[in-house]
Every structure is written in C-alpha cells, then in structure tokens.
Structure 1
C-alpha cells in the first residue's frame, strides 16, 4: 500500500487549536504508547536507499501489539510524504521478535518512543504525537486517494510552512 502523510512540528498554540478541532469535528479512536525500533540490515544501507525496517510495539490499556513494518523509498515530488508501506501484526512477544531479527544479523539502530492520540477526521487521520527527545508533532495520514481534505486542513490552520519533511528517525539521528 502507498502511505500518504505529512508531519508538522507544533507549539502550544497550534496544539490547542488542533485539539479543539479534533474534539469537535473528528472521532477519537485511541491513545497509544509506541516504541519504534528501527533496524540496520546486514547487507543494505537503508540511509542510502531511503528505506526502513521497523518493529513497532504498541501499548493500549495494558495490551501490547507487535507490528513489523517495511517503508520504501519516498516520493519527494509533493509536499506530502508518499512511500510504499508494508505492515503486519505478529502474534509473538516483543522480545521474541527482536531476537528473531538480531539472530538474522540485523542490528538495532534506534528506539523512538512516543505517546499518540489518534482521531479519525473526514478524509484523514489526525495523530497528535509527543515524541521523546523531539517534542510535539501532528501527523496527518490520508484515508483513500483524495489529498484535498489534508490540504484544506493545512491551509485553514496556516500549517503548510511548518511541514517537516524528515522522518522521526532522521530527526533523532541528527541530534
């Protein structure tokens, strides 16, 4: 599947306006704590190929889910980040999944921890993220093929100039 999303660093004023919008115009889906473990492939330099492999551990109300994600090369021709994403949930403990990759010569590159609130809005998902060591961001992820609802949101909140083209991984690695 092709994932289309945009990320924006927000300040306290932005957060208040966005929360007011989300609470009045969107459906709250869940609050989740996320630990993303990015891996280094034994033979491929993902920083050069613009790819990523990630183990995601999600905790919601004491229940853990483990997902494995492949992210392909980004299409950088638009304001939005578009890339192939393959993600699936596995029925194994986080330690077993990590051990599996380590035994297959992958190495851990970085852990990124965040608390996320997910809202479903008309045409897109709105995620409010508090990312350890980076601060607060929102991510807007398209539902379906129409990007217009995200464009309208960005314009109405004057956020187009604040779009962050880098991934959380790239931002952490720059620190």
Structure 2
C-alpha cells in the first residue's frame, strides 16, 4: 500500500526556496492552476474521520482523489488513491453529476497556482510544490510517495530536505482545513 508522506510549510516568499532547489539541480516547472473541489460523504463525516474526497482540475485534466486519515501527529502522511478521469469540462461535469446523484455534497473549493520540481534526495523521488493558494497565501509542500515500510525513512528525508531549503514551522492542516478554519 502506498502512502503520501508530506510536510507543508507556510512561507512569505517562494523565491529563496526556488533558488535553493535550482542550486540542488532541480528544475522548476511553469505554474499550473489547480482547482480542487472537495465533497462530504452522505453517511460519514470526513471532518471527524480525517478523510478527504476531491475532484481536481488541472488545465484539461481531471482526477478523483481519496485521502485517508493522517497516520501520525507531526506530518501529513496518509494513504492516497488518485485516479485520472476523462479529460475536459464534460468529464469533470459528469463526475460532479455522479457524486451529487449519489448524495455527496460540495464542501469547498481550493484554488492554487502550483510550481513543481521533482528530484532525487536521500534515495527517494521528492516532489516539491510551491503553491500560491487563493485566500491562504504561499506554501511549500515536500512530498514522497512511499511503501508503508519506507514511511519513516521518507519522513526523515523530508525533514532533512526542509532544513536544506530553509523551511521551518510546518503546517499539518490541509488547505481545505485551513480554508474552513478547522483546528
């Protein structure tokens, strides 16, 4: 089973992190707008179970993502299952219609402009996402997708990378939780 091992940091300015990534040999992609629409379950309170279900639109691409409960008290490590959907506005509208027909209701939408860089660090493929989130500000997410047996090593690698990138004071809440004002 794969886990998303993630640490997120609020920042005032992304340029210092971008410079450090480039010094490490990372190539930073052009920004892409991501619109994430989150849904509540008709029979389960995702806020109580610490789960999330979303539809993500990135340009013409659509994805459905389930995020399980966080597995520790210090990071955002959790099981994540993401499935690509039919592309385009019609594909997104169809999955929205299906969700709402099944009793799922929209909770909130998180819109962000994301610049990504992926590179090897400490034996892992690391994704660094530099986000400008509407209504919230700027953040850097460090992420590794790992097997359950590698979760602790992945967390240690991300903590080491955070120090090298000059990041501190991690934020464990998701963008959705921050927008909704959840503690």
Report the TM-score when normalising by structure 1: 0.88
Checking the alignment, whether the CA contact within 8 Å between 1:22 and 1:121 is kept in structure 2 is no
Deviations 1:106-127 (A, max 9, x none): 1000001000001013231110
Q: 1:85 aligns to what?
A: 80
Q: 2:58 aligns to what?
A: 58
Q: In structure 1, list runs of 5 or more residues that go unmatched.
A: none
4+ residue stretches of structure 1 with deviation over 3 A?
143-146
Q: 1:6 aligns to what?
A: 7
CA distance in 1, matches of 2:165, 2:3: 26
Task: Report the 3-state secondary structure (helix = DSSP H, G, I; strand = E; otherwise coil) of the residue aligned with 2:103.
Answer: coil
Shift of 1:30: 4.9
CA distance in 1, matches of 2:157, 2:119: 9
Checking the alignment, whether the CA contact within 8 Å between 1:33 and 1:116 is kept in structure 2 is yes
Checking the alignment, whether the CA contact within 8 Å between 1:26 and 1:122 is kept in structure 2 is no
Q: How many residues align?
A: 167
Checking the alignment, whether the CA contact within 8 Å between 2:17 and 2:166 is kept in structure 1 is no
Checking the alignment, whether the CA contact within 8 Å between 1:40 and 1:107 is kept in structure 2 is yes
Q: 2:167 aligns to what?
A: 159
CA distance in 2, matches of 1:83, 1:167: 12
Deviations 1:34-91 (A, max 9, x none): 00000011111101111111111111xxxx11100111010124x3211010100011
Please give the root-mean-square deviation of Cα atoms over the aligned residues, in Å.
Answer: 1.7
